[in-house]
Chain A
Amino acid sequence: MQAVIEARELTKSFGSFIAANKLTFDVMPGEIFGFLGANGAGKTTAMRMLCGLSIPTSGEARIAGFDVYTQTEKIKQNIGYMSQKFSLYEDLTVKENIRFYGGIYGLKIPQIKKKTDELLHELQLTQEADKLVRELPLGWKQKLSFSVALVHDPKIVFLDEPTGGVDPITRRQFWDLIYYATSKGITVFVTTHYMDEAEYCNRVSIMVDGVIEALDKPSVLKQKFNVDSMEEVFYLLARKAKRSE
């Protein structure tokens, strides 16, 4: 099977500071790939390169088969993105948000209408369609934000600490949505600080000081380091870090 994310020695440096150093990994279609690392380990830099937001210093990467140097426009068409901040417009209604994001992804008006009905139904938000996003509870905003990131049926969705500041029950529900998305063949690339979430991933990589120190299934990693939880694996690796923030 062809990987949807292929990174080969992907490097980004700012002057003499190497933020991401020779990252090499593959992510398979339909996989949930956890991208872990302490603050300042280089996660965000790596993610920005994969999203086509910043041009790598060296190395190669293909996202959904498109080159990160020359085909950023194609990449953008094929990925979705959601960050901790939920990225919805608080002063627009649920419907208007969906319409706007559908619009900037170039969906046609009938497509947007169809998508809106689908999403509202799936999220059981039909009643709230004309409410301002501001008035929704946090958990709903988060789900809506995730669905909006998928409005253009991307192959891959990048989630940057999507569950920051959310209670455990809502987090659990959010992961149900993630599983549902992968069941439809979408690949999920997720960064998180919660180690219980790391356990939900098919495979995780742990970045320390710009380098990927470990990459495997959570069960294999636990075995390798001879510990019971991902929390301990992360701790063993991350404490070696020399740089912070």
Chain B
Amino acid sequence: MWIVWKRYFIYWPEKQNVASNVKQLFIFIQKEFKHVFRDRKTLLMLFGMPTTQIILFGFALTNEIKNSEVAVLDAAKTELSQSIIQTIDASTYFDVRYHIQNTKQAETLFQKGKIKAVVVIPVEFKEAAFAQQPNDIQLITDASDPNVSTTIRNYLTTILNSFFAEKNKQAASMQIVPEVRMLYNPELKGAFNFVPGVISLVLMLVCTMMSSVSIVREKEMGTMEILLVSPFKPLYIIISKLAPYFLISIFNLVFILVLSVTLLGLSIKGSVLLLVLASALFIITSLAIGLLISTTAKSQQNAMMISLLGMMLPTMLLTGFMFPIENMPLGLQMLSNIVPSRWFFIIIKNVMLKGLGFMHVWKEMGILTLMAFLLLVVSIRKFKIRLQE
């Protein structure tokens, strides 16, 4: 107690002045940037990862249906049935490829995987000249992938509904036809949901990996010892390790946003400032996790594995961008609460897609702030304790 007291009070005036401390920090941070820019692997991780993720999630891994090939069995052969088929073909979701004569043919096409659905317009359709019910039309879908099947059914039903609604309007029907509007994402683009997820994932991985690896590298190289023997304070080591990666991550965020806007045609509805602010919070949280990893990891590989494997899965699964959290078992739902990206994902979705302001995300931002603070305190303490040994 006495020693601590003496350290803080008696030796206080002997501490170096602020200006020289700042200069020391500056030289250290400069060095960190040199490490980053001279290492091809780090650069690749920084810019390659977001680019591939955006492309992967934005184009390849979508759960939307585009140009699905369908077959039609038009037994009615009327003007009406023809125009129904034309409407289906005209939509961007479907491509009428095959005109078949019997259900047997449909079976073969399904088995070969050529088509996703068959639209059957029965002979009775002719008699029911007033047929205004889409129910009279049969839809057969390939349900080996239930999600795709459901989506196709929904899309087709919607197309048919609106077709009949249009017809009925002319016939002045009294039917109630709901007019559906898809809010915030009118075109139902899968990328809109994935991009905020990818932003959380990439920022999380890049931040934890960079900070943990860069600290562990100094331990491995033996340079950490020299830093500790020098008058440069441990807290400064932490600051000068985190500051460059903070800046780089902000740059990375901008890079991802530009990619999403230009490549995926996303528009940022809300305040960019709020978005950057929330991201800064999330970046600090992730950097603190990296710092924590660095106190336990033995080697650079070790640090990389922990940050990649240890962070990738929980982030992917428990953030909510791949699987909705509400559908998970209670245990996993509770677990997802401690995953920082879960909260960040909500913020970024609200701000980017819905254009909501601070009033709608303050709770999540508060949670992130708390997490960042706790993680920083714990990791700084742990970092210092390790040095004492």
B258 interfacial by beta-carbon distance below 8 Å: no
Asked if A96 and B31 sit within 8 Å, CB to CB, the answer is yes
Write out the residue numbers on chain A whose beta carbons fall within 8 Å of the beta carbon of B387: 53
Write out the residue numbers on chain B whose beta carbons fall within 8 Å of the beta carbon of A70: 3, 6-7, 11
Asked if A106 and B222 sit within 8 Å, CB to CB, the answer is no
A81-B389 contact, Cβ under 8 Å, with A70-B6, A106-B20? no
Asked if A87 and B11 sit within 8 Å, CB to CB, the answer is no
A76-B229 contact, Cβ under 8 Å, with A91-B34, A100-B31? yes
Task: Report the separation of the CA atoms of residues A104 and B387 in the bound assembly, to the nearest whole angstrom.
Answer: 18
Interface-centre pick from B223, B227, B229 (highest chain A CB count, 10 A):
B229
Asked if B11 and A96 sit within 8 Å, CB to CB, the answer is no
- From B16, B24, B221, give the contact of A89 (CB < 8 A): B221
Asked if B28 and A76 sit within 8 Å, CB to CB, the answer is no
Write out the residue numbers on chain A whose beta carbons fall within 8 Å of the beta carbon of B47: none
CB neighbors of B among A26-85 (8 A): 51-55, 69-71, 73-74, 76-77, 79, 81-85
Asked if B231 and A103 sit within 8 Å, CB to CB, the answer is no
A92 interfacial by beta-carbon distance below 8 Å: yes
Asked if A104 and B28 sit within 8 Å, CB to CB, the answer is yes
A91-B39 contact, Cβ under 8 Å, with A70-B7, A105-B231? yes
Write out the residue numbers on chain A whose beta carbons fall within 8 Å of the beta carbon of B389: 54
Please, which residue of chain A has its CB at the minimum distance from the CB of B227?
A104
A99 interfacial by beta-carbon distance below 8 Å: yes
Asked if B230 and A104 sit within 8 Å, CB to CB, the answer is yes
Task: Report the separation of the CA atoms of residues A109 and B20 in the bound assembly, to the nearest whole angstrom.
Answer: 11
CB neighbors of A among B231-272 (8 A): 231-232
Write out the residue numbers on chain B whose beta carbons fall within 8 Å of the beta carbon of A52: 229
Asked if B222 and A76 sit within 8 Å, CB to CB, the answer is no
CB neighbors of A among B5-38 (8 A): 6-7, 11, 14-16, 20, 23-24, 27-28, 31, 34-35, 38
Taking the closest CB of chain A, its distance from the CB of B40, in whole angstroms, is 11
On chain B, which size bracket covers the interface?
20 to 34
Write out the residue numbers on chain A whose beta carbons fall within 8 Å of the beta carbon of B229: 51-53, 76, 79, 81, 158
A90 interfacial by beta-carbon distance below 8 Å: yes
- From B6, B23, B225, give the contact of A103 (CB < 8 A): B23
Write out the residue numbers on chain B whose beta carbons fall within 8 Å of the beta carbon of A106: 16, 20, 24, 231
Taking the closest CB of chain B, its distance from the CB of A107, in whole angstroms, is 9
A100-B222 contact, Cβ under 8 Å, with A70-B7, A76-B229? no
Write out the residue numbers on chain B whose beta carbons fall within 8 Å of the beta carbon of A53: 228-229, 387
Task: Report the separation of the CA atoms of residues A87 and B230 in the bound assembly, to the nearest whole angstrom.
Answer: 12
Taking the closest CB of chain A, its distance from the CB of B20, in whole angstroms, is 5
Task: Report the separation of the CA atoms of residues A52 and B230 in the bound assembly, to the nearest whole angstrom.
Answer: 10
Task: Report the separation of the CA atoms of residues A85 and B226 in the bound assembly, to the nearest whole angstrom.
Answer: 10
Please, which residue of chain A has its CB at the minimum distance from the CB of B16?
A106
B135 interfacial by beta-carbon distance below 8 Å: no
0 or 1 for each of B375-389: is its CB under 8 Å from A? (1 = yes): 000000000000111
Taking the closest CB of chain A, its distance from the CB of B264, in whole angstroms, is 36
Asked if B27 and A99 sit within 8 Å, CB to CB, the answer is yes
Main secondary structure of the interface of A (DSSP, over half): loop
Task: Report the separation of the CA atoms of residues A71 and B11 in the bound assembly, to the nearest whole angstrom.
Answer: 8
Asked if B221 and A87 sit within 8 Å, CB to CB, the answer is yes
Write out the residue numbers on chain B whose beta carbons fall within 8 Å of the beta carbon of A82: 226
Task: Report the separation of the CA atoms of residues A53 and B384 in the bound assembly, to the nearest whole angstrom.
Answer: 11
- From A54, A92, A108, give the contact of B388 (CB < 8 A): A54
A105-B230 contact, Cβ under 8 Å, with A87-B221, A87-B225, A91-B39? yes
Write out the residue numbers on chain B whose beta carbons fall within 8 Å of the beta carbon of A91: 34-35, 38-39
0 or 1 for each of B37-74: is its CB under 8 Å from A? (1 = yes): 01100000000000000000000000000000000000
Asked if B24 and A103 sit within 8 Å, CB to CB, the answer is yes
- From B16, B23, B221, give the contact of A85 (CB < 8 A): B221
Taking the closest CB of chain B, its distance from the CB of A24, in whole angstroms, is 22
A234 interfacial by beta-carbon distance below 8 Å: no
A87-B34 contact, Cβ under 8 Å, with A70-B7, A76-B229, A76-B230? no
Taking the closest CB of chain A, its distance from the CB of B137, in whole angstroms, is 68
Task: Report the separation of the CA atoms of residues A71 and B7 in the bound assembly, to the nearest whole angstrom.
Answer: 8
Taking the closest CB of chain A, its distance from the CB of B237, in whole angstroms, is 9
Task: Report the separation of the CA atoms of residues A76 and B11 in the bound assembly, to the nearest whole angstrom.
Answer: 15
CB neighbors of B among A101-122 (8 A): 101, 103-106, 108-109
A86 interfacial by beta-carbon distance below 8 Å: yes
Asked if A89 and B231 sit within 8 Å, CB to CB, the answer is no
Write out the residue numbers on chain B whose beta carbons fall within 8 Å of the beta carbon of A90: 221
Asked if A86 and B222 sit within 8 Å, CB to CB, the answer is yes
Please, which residue of chain B has its CB at the minimum distance from the CB of A85?
B222
Write out the residue numbers on chain A whose beta carbons fall within 8 Å of the beta carbon of B222: 83-87
Taking the closest CB of chain B, its distance from the CB of A71, in whole angstroms, is 8
Task: Report the separation of the CA atoms of residues A104 and B226 in the bound assembly, to the nearest whole angstrom.
Answer: 10
Q: Would you list 7 pairs from A and B whose C-beta atoms are within 8 A, ordered by A residue?
A: A54-B389, A73-B11, A73-B15, A81-B225, A87-B223, A104-B28, A106-B231
Task: A76-B229, A106-B231, A108-B20 are known; give 5 further A-B pairs, CB within 8 A.
Answer: A70-B3, A70-B6, A73-B14, A81-B226, A92-B34
Question: Which 4 A-B residue pairings sit nearest by Cβ, starting from the closest?
Answer: A85-B222, A103-B27, A81-B229, A104-B232
